[in-house]
Amino acid sequence: MNPRVLRRALVALALGACAAAAAPADDPFGRWRPGVDMPGVRYVGSTECATCHSAQAATQGATPMARAAATPATSSVLRARPKLTFKEGPFTYEVVRSGDVATFTVRTATASISEPILACFGTGLSGQTFLFTGTLARLTRREAQERVKALGATLLSGVSANLHVLVVGEKPGSKLKKAQELGVKVLSEDDFVRLLEESGG
């Protein structure tokens, strides 16, 4: 076997063992998130990285990605909202946090299923898609777009089944009608600003 390949394999094995050793036993994601920096390995820790990348390090903690894979006990979303419920067609979805445990339940009129939540991915508007139409009075279009992107949302260029939220200003035009036909959530500018405030943006 090539000595370089063998050396890389041994380093990878050692790193995996270090991560597993550093992880709390009750943390299912612990081996991927070691709690301490390991001496003698190539990864030198977030503190060292921040010395060269100070601008990124200063703002990274507030990004949706920084809070991805949070446990129910540490999720800022579940701490702020211990019970979340929404409906889509015949289904009712519910997330309930009690102490350090959270459960996800899906119900219909005749059945339900529940599972424990192991990790919460992202915060704010992560995974949602937005489109703006009409003239906004309180924000410029660009500012509104930048604020939702900062919260993890994706901007779309047109109304489709992939659109989650249409934000409507004055004189919205045909996009509003199409969104209503597709059952897309429609927000006024005031509702949108409230959503930003509630989502930390």
Q: Is the overall model pTM greater than 0.85, yes or no?
A: no
pLDDT digits (tens, 9 = 90+) for 10-55: 334 333 433 333 444 555 555 555 555 555 555 555 666 777 778 8
- Nearest by Cα to 99 from 116, 79, 114: 79
pLDDT recorded at residue 49: 72
Domain 129-198 maps to which CATH number in 3.80.10.10, 3.30.1330.40, 3.40.50.10440, 3.40.50.10190? 3.40.50.10190
pLDDT digits (tens, 9 = 90+) for 169-178: 998 889 999 9
Q: Calculate Rg over the CA atoms of the chain.
A: 22
Order of strands across the sheet that contains 185-188: 154-155, 129-133, 165-168, 185-188
Q: How far is 194 from 197, CA to CA, in rounded Å?
A: 5
Statement: residue 143 has pLDDT above 80: yes
Taking residues 57-85, what's their average pLDDT?
73
Q: Assess contact for 64 and 127: CB atoms under 8 A.
A: no
Burial 27-48 (b: 16+ CB within 10 A, else e): eeebeeebeeebeeeeeeeeee
Q: Which helix (H) or strand (E) holds 21?
A: helix 3-22
pLDDT recorded at residue 132: 95
The boundaries of every CATH 3.40.50.10190 domain in the chain are 129-198
pLDDT recorded at residue 6: 41
Q: Assess contact for 124 and 200: CB atoms under 8 A.
A: yes
Burial of 119 (0-12, 13-18, 19+ CB in 10 A): middle
pLDDT digits (tens, 9 = 90+) for 87-135: 888 999 999 988 888 999 999 999 999 999 887 765 667 778 899 999 9
